[in-house]
A = this chain, B = another copy of it.
Amino acid sequence: LPRNPKTPKATKIPDVVIDRLPLYTRCLVLLQSRRREVVSSTELAGMSRVTPAQIRKDLSYFGRFGKQGRGYNVSQLLGELWRILGLNRHWRMALVGVGKVGRAILDYDGFANQGFHVVQAFDVDHQMVGQKLASVTIKHVSDLEQSLLKDPVDIGIVAVPAVEAQAVVDALVRCGVKAILNYAPLRPSRPPDVELRQIDPVLALQSMTFYLKPLKEQGKQR
């Protein structure tokens, strides 16, 4: 039987393993929509671009899902991964910063579809306070701590300029927020028990240029 992820033992699972689980769930959702009942680690590997050995190792942290030579039961594995990741729950989020990025976040359907709901939003701009965007009324950032202590959230989304990001992260942490999605282009410090994920397109671009040959060196010959 899979272990309970809340036990101390299970918390030693490497972060990189946890990071890959949502990817597997997406592949399994796709397989389920195609009415597939069983999938091999090889096929799952082809879909997720992770090696079959890595998939088997990742899933072994949570117990025995597959049977040797018979593959994984799609619905059962999906159900377990959803339970492990808490994806069948309703997660409450606070958005800090309602500029261009913040508005795109408020308008994005993809979050609520997956159980992630922005229930509070804050900005420094007094002109925006009181405005309602995507059913959320914007409050002033000076009310952040009072609002979140009264009406807590699970996740904070930081969409403020780089110079303001650390102060916002600190305030969220003081309000007991344990998971932060950061769009500001720097890595804020936070206590070890607070999870933080960085959405950073510039870092992503910079990690690709290594592989590129600039156009001028190619003489635009392609």
Contact = CB atoms under 8 A, between A and B. Distances in A.
List the number of copies, as a whole number: 2
A168 B195 CA distance: 34
A209 interface: yes
A195 B208 contact: yes
Instruction: Give the interface residue-count category, chain A.
Output: 35 or more
B104 A212 contact: no
B204 A116 contact: no
A154 B215 contact: yes
Given A100-B107, A181-B204, A209 B25 contact: no
A178 B214 CA distance: 10
Interface stretch (A66-74, A87-95, A135-143): A87-95
Contact of A211 (B87, B91, B179, B187): B179
A195 B86 CA distance: 31
B104 A205 contact: no
Contact of A212 (B22, B114, B178): B178
A36 interface: no
Contacts of A5: 210
